[in-house]
Amino acid sequence: MALSACKTAQVQLKTNHNTPMDVYPVEGRNDWRWKRKVTFGEYTASNFRGGWVGSYEFPFFLQFRGSKEKISFVQRDQMGGEAKVLAVDRFRTAELPLVKDYFNLPVVYKQNFAGTVYLPARQQHYDFWLNFPDANTPLTRTEGFILTPQGKVTIEGIQQLEGMTFKLPGNLGYNFIYAGEVVASVDAMAKGTVYLKKELDPEMKLVLVAVANSILQRTK
């Protein structure tokens, strides 16, 4: 009902940005996976698959290569930077002990989304985790992170549009928070929009974009 009431006005997420952001409308998100090419701004992603092809030498692939609900694609920027992205949605019960050991988390729920962004040029991987990516209530709180050499980036669900005085019980998008400020956001409504802080290291931007795109590729 709240979303219907906003149709006559521009729908805008309540993202709490305090710094200048580049705003990238997403194109190609809903195309057929076998020919999908997702672009936003200077970033392009292709080679989308509902599984993993090849053998990448980093821990996440070795731990979860047998998982069923998988996403993989290649994310690129205009400067030639490339990231290979692997993600697992809806872990099987048998895999939860692996998740717990790998992320060192007290994993007790099945509604999890996790993966890794691998930068071949650096041979560096950035693991990410998102608990309860859809429902966001006191009992199913959306919490996540990206592990980087510079520190942890926290992922939080966005439950409000601008002007709302209440929170919805689910997520309309996600904020990525680093050093106490929002450095990127994902609007998951319709085709999607990605917001990215202007003053960021290019490698950090590529990693944030890759994680944001992996979230947009989830099938609910």
The token duo for 186 is: 């994902």
pTM assigned to the model: 0.89
- pLDDT truncated to tens, each residue of the chain (220 aa)? 444 444 434 568 998 898 899 999 999 988 887 789 999 999 999 999 887 766 566 688 777 776 667 889 999 999 999 999 999 887 777 777 787 788 877 666 668 899 999 999 999 999 999 989 999 999 899 999 999 998 999 999 999 999 899 999 999 999 999 999 999 999 999 899 999 999 899 999 999 999 999 999 986 6
Q: Distance (Å, rounded) from C-alpha 33 to C-alpha 215?
A: 15
For 36, 106, 183, 188, 191, the CA distances from 74, given in Å and listed in that order, are 11, 31, 22, 20, 19
CB contact burial 47-73 (16+ within 10 A = b; e otherwise): ebeeebeeebeeebbebbeebeebbbb
